[in-house]
Amino acid sequence: MRISGSDVACGTHATEQDKVVAEAHRRGWSEGYESGSESSASFSKSRIERLEQRVKELEEQLDSTRRVYEVNGCQVVEVGGYGYRWRGSDPLEVGDRVLLPENYVSRLKNGPGPTVGVVNKLGTTYRGSLSDIVGRAPATGEAS
């Protein structure tokens, strides 16, 4: 008796034992293939996670070397991913609500006038001209 792949060479003359051996071979091959696929997927997932963590660390290193906290004596912060200059006397902190100047996009989205934003980072890596924050926004629930 010969097993070719996971089939018995001659199904017509195969004994019950031949069929059991062929089925065991098929099951073993299938389980081995599945196990190998799972192992490969697990390895790939772990490698991707390590690479993503490394990219994050390198981005943080680059950010810390390029981030500026003051421009011409004014504090610089990020609100919604954009850099702004704060000319106020009391420094802003992460989480402070501020009034941002109207721009083309804010006018379309929110109508005319300043827009409320929240400081999400101190400093910025942006190197272009910065808009000035209009002022501090009233705390939630306070009347303007």
Q: How confident is the model at residue 37, as a pLDDT?
A: 92
Same domain, 54 and 74: no
User: Average pLDDT in the 13-24 region?
Assistant: 83
Same domain, 54 and 97: no
3-state helix, strand, coil in the chain (%, to 5): 40, 25, 35
Last residue of a domain, one of 27, 48, 66: 66
pLDDT, tens digit, 9 for 90 and up, residues 126-144 = 889 999 999 999 877 655 5
Q: Which domain holds residue 38?
A: 3-66
Q: How confident is the model at residue 20, as a pLDDT?
A: 86
Output b/e per residue, 9-46; b: 16+ Cβ within 10 A: eeeeebeeebeebbeebeeeeeeeeeeeeeeeeeeeee
Q: How confident is the model at residue 23, as a pLDDT?
A: 87
Q: What is the rounded distance in angstroms from the CA atom of residue 130 to the CA atom of residue 83?
A: 6
In a domain, 143, yes or no: no
Q: How confident is the model at residue 19, as a pLDDT?
A: 82
Last residue of a domain, one of 66, 90, 113: 66
Q: How confident is the model at residue 6, as a pLDDT?
A: 52
Same domain, 54 and 95: no
Q: Concatenated DSSP letters for 16-77?
A: HHHHHHHHHHHHHHHHHHHHHHHHHHHHHHHHHHHHHHHHHHHHHHHHHHH-BSEETTEEEE
Same domain, 97 and 43: no
Q: What is the rounded distance in angstroms from the CA atom of residue 19 to the CA atom of residue 15?
A: 6
pLDDT, tens digit, 9 for 90 and up, residues 44-100 = 999 999 999 999 999 889 888 889 999 999 999 999 989 999 999 899 999 999 999
Give the amino acid at 93.
E
Confidence of residue 110 (pLDDT cuts 50, 70, 90): confident
